[in-house]
Structure 1
Amino acid sequence: MTNKFSTIIKELESCHEQCLNSFKITKIKVFPKKKQCIVYFFSNEYLSDNVLHLIENKIESLHCVGSIILENTVKNPSINKYIKNNWVKLSNRVYEKIPVARGWLDEAECEVSDDILTLKLTDRIGIEILEMKDIPSIIQDIVFNDTGIRIKVNLNISDKLEHDKIYEDYYLFKEDKERQLTEELLKQNGSAVKDKADVEDSIIIMGKKILDKPTKINDIHGMGQKVTIQGKVYDIQAKCIRDNSTLLIISLTDFSNSIYIKIFQKKDSDSLTDKIKLHKWLKISGRVEYDNYLKETIIIPSDINLLNNTERTDISKDKRVELHLHTNMSAMDGISSPNEYIKRAAEWGHSALAITDHGVVQAFPDAYKYGQKYDIKIIFGVEAYLIDDEIEIIKNPKNIDIDKETYVVLDIETTGLSAIKDEIIEIGAVKLKDGKIVDRYHSLIKPQGVIPYEIENLTGITNKMVKDSPNIESVMPDFIDFIGDSTIVAHNASFDMGFIYKTCEELNLPLKNPVLDTLNLSRTLIKKLKNHKLKTISEHFNIKLLNHHRAIDDAKATSEILIELFKKLKEKDINNLSEINKLRCELLPQHIRPNHALILVKDHVGLKNLYKLISKSHLKHFYRTP
């Protein structure tokens, strides 16, 4: 092996004599299981990336299977020369460990002075993320392993601070959204702050009538100040303390924030618990303090007024019948009891109400009891978890031999998970023909909104990177032309295609191509894996997944996975795209995402059948959900 490498170096010496005349291979390590070969060599100076690439290309002529890693050591290492000649390679090694670093390191300015490497970034978000991911330490370790020199890595802000404006705009945008949401909640709950005219209708239950205009709870800052607030009571706790006195802790919200009201009531004073009830509106004037017991900011009131708040009513002539309702028996969904719902329905003049908890029927006895009490007809039902056991692995398949078809393997990055609310920010795709990549497509896309911080962190795609990119209206028609009549392939295709179909519908672009999902295909062909994430399947097939969560890199990895899955299809004597859906019967129920289906009971026979259905789903078909 060493002799073959030496031959390659002699071939290159004629063109690069100056840098290769001192080249000497010191050691070669081969790792058969990892399909990896590490070549350690010595030279007087660091070889440039161009020369290293030439050596790597020549080594490929040896028909080596797997990856080749070149480790270069020098006689008198110079950090300046090392960084200058190896920054791209060094950066790639960082990306392999922390893919999110790519977006910022690619745009960073490097300065080296006295064994100090200073990276100047164009935004503060980048510094925060690189420090959080401990990138300086990773770079220090790579440099030390290569040169034996321990350097210090500093992260500084560049003189160009254009991106700071985007950073600030994002948080202003976020605050504006929160403000809009609060105002909407205030309207829905009839909780807009009342003016002085409303005060005439208030009842004094402690102290005197309050004439001051209320302050939002969210705007309360500083201890010891006197404030006036008003809000809705959502919790009351009464505790007996020494001398039979009572401590009353009232939880109050005005939907901008919440706060505790703490009242000490003497034994012989009028009881406030008879006057202050849940869901009532209070206007309170008092002093702001910090409570060491509750570890919260509280108000000690001097005056309390009960506001004559009008409860929400249903003034419609034709009353609705609620057919989809979750009680507190629905885990993580409902918070109110059947009693509260049925009482409210009676107050609003409704005649009937359906109880449809997630996969359970425990609320039925209480619902029946209070239905009788308030003369409300109870419609018994359930929101069931339903799986499609005829799910297609490939949709709208062509009747064509697998090896003869052209495939476009795609991946997208988005601002979130919802195809309705969120936007595409990157499209990457490779075109596959005869088992080889014959074309590529890649484009960053400027969204209408702002890329959230967590998405920047996950993908490395920043607002600055997409600032001058084309919008989706320009990119999608071009991408549809690239696809042509090929079969589309994606990993978890329902996610990617959900965004693409929505965009095509908005732009009136036809797209009826076959769509193959490598996620479901891998679930039928490689059942032994603990999960079928892109990273897990890549590791199973020894496929390099560089820069995970970047579209073009994920698309390339998916194309290599597709080739391996096609080999397994041929082992099962499946050679035509139209035959792939025969495998859907091998998809395990736990691998299929459940849909929600509403089931309502018509009569006593239906109620009995519903009980049987619920029992069977819990006893025989339970996997995370019944």
Structure 2
Amino acid sequence: MCQIGAVKFRDGEPVDSFASLVKPHERLNLFEYEKHTELHHITKSDILEAPEWPEVLGRFESYFVEDLPLVAHRAANADAKMMREDCILYRMPMLENGWIDTWALAKELLPNLPNHRYKTICKHFGIDMGSYHQAVDDANGAGQILLKLAQSAHADDFEALEYAWNDAKYNVSGRFPDDLVSYAKSHERDTPNKWLEGMHPTVKKGDACVRCGKEIGDDASYTARKSGMCGTQCKAEALKQAKDLASVIKNFRPISTHYSIYS
């Protein structure tokens, strides 16, 4: 890491900022490749007299961030990851603040965008990016994205935004049958097989299969009939859909990711 920037928001408006160059740890040769300088326009000479990470983090934690949540785009793969790696190098604890990843949030709340890159979302919301890859401007952009996402979710506060986020795990329209999604939403702790059995009453010979409409015959297994279906093929297809939906729900990442190193 060679720079850090943050913007503090209050009532939807930026009210303060923090910025500092950072002298990289001696084990990190960040300026070995020209692409690093091309990315953020910071040269090796710029950071020769810059403070090292422990001093910068100390000032950032004590005088700026306090116990507020940290917001970043691709937090887990970029900002939080780099901060965590520097803390490991210096054998110091990572900030205990929660993280909100606007990339993950946008991916769930804006599923119809072609991608969820920082530039794409800024363009979608009409956000002025400032100088791209300059820490304070990027921080301000992430904050503006969070505000726009909250507005799009009709969330007036963090609690409402978290509710919208948690509800977004079921934003799978067109991918799974509506009745399956609705049932899973209210019976999330049950197994996929229990979903199917709970959705439909047990059928008997002569009844119609809830999946294909065919008449239940003598060859229908009890397991299939217990889920309202005519045979193993219908049951297998329905169970695969239910398991796929369960996987989506299980792998849904929470809004706030907490990192703790050497605590």
Q: Identify the TM-score tier after normalising by the shorter chain.
A: 0.5 to 0.7
Choose the corresponding residue for 2:71, options 489, 502, 506.
Answer: 489
Name 2:10's counterpart in structure 1.
433
Count of equivalent residues: 168
User: RCO (CA 8 Å, sep 6+): is it higher in 1 or 2?
Assistant: 2
SS in 2 for 1:432: strand
Name 1:445's counterpart in structure 2.
22
Closer, same or farther in 2 for the Cα pair 1:546/1:582, shift >3 Å? same
Give distance in 2, aligned partners of 1:572 and 1:441: 26
Name 2:212's counterpart in structure 1.
none
Name 2:44's counterpart in structure 1.
463
CA contact (8 A) 2:84 2:94 kept: no
* Alpha-carbon shift at residue 571 of structure 1 (Å): 6.1
SS in 2 for 1:555: helix
Between Structure 1 and Structure 2, which shows a larger proportion of helix residues?
2
Closer, same or farther in 2 for the Cα pair 1:586/1:574, shift >3 Å? farther
Correspondence 1:373-392 to 2 at 5 A = none
Mapped pair 1:477 → 2:58: yes
CA contact (8 A) 1:504 1:511 kept: no
Give distance in 1, aligned partners of 2:80 and 2:11: 24
Deviation by residue 1:583-606 (Cα, 9 ceiling, x = unmatched): 234389xxxxxxxxxxxxxxxxxx
Q: Which runs of 5+ in 2 are unaligned?
A: 174-239, 245-263
Name 2:134's counterpart in structure 1.
550
Q: Which runs of 5+ in 1 are unaligned?
A: 1-423, 589-615, 621-626
Correspondence 1:119-158 to 2 at 5 A = none
Closer, same or farther in 2 for the Cα pair 1:557/1:574, shift >3 Å? closer
Give distance in 1, aligned partners of 2:61 and 2:23: 18
Kindly name which structure, 1 or 2, has the bigger radius of gyration based on alpha carbons: 1
Closer, same or farther in 2 for the Cα pair 1:578/1:543, shift >3 Å? closer
Name 2:226's counterpart in structure 1.
none
* Alpha-carbon shift at residue 576 of structure 1 (Å): 3.2
Which residue type is aligned with residue 467 of structure 1?
A: L
* Alpha-carbon shift at residue 577 of structure 1 (Å): 5.2
CA contact (8 A) 2:7 2:140 kept: yes
Larger mean CA deviation between 488-497 and 571-580 belongs to 571-580
Name 1:586's counterpart in structure 2.
171
Deviation by residue 1:466-491 (Cα, 9 ceiling, x = unmatched): 12211112111112222111011110
CA contact (8 A) 1:430 1:552 kept: yes
Choose the corresponding residue for 1:504, options 67, 83, 87.
Answer: 87
Deviation by residue 1:554-577 (Cα, 9 ceiling, x = unmatched): 111111111111112226998435
Between Structure 1 and Structure 2, which shows a larger proportion of strand residues?
1
Name 2:205's counterpart in structure 1.
none
- TM-score, scaled to structure 2: 0.57
Give distance in 2, aligned partners of 1:513 and 1:573: 18
Name 2:99's counterpart in structure 1.
515
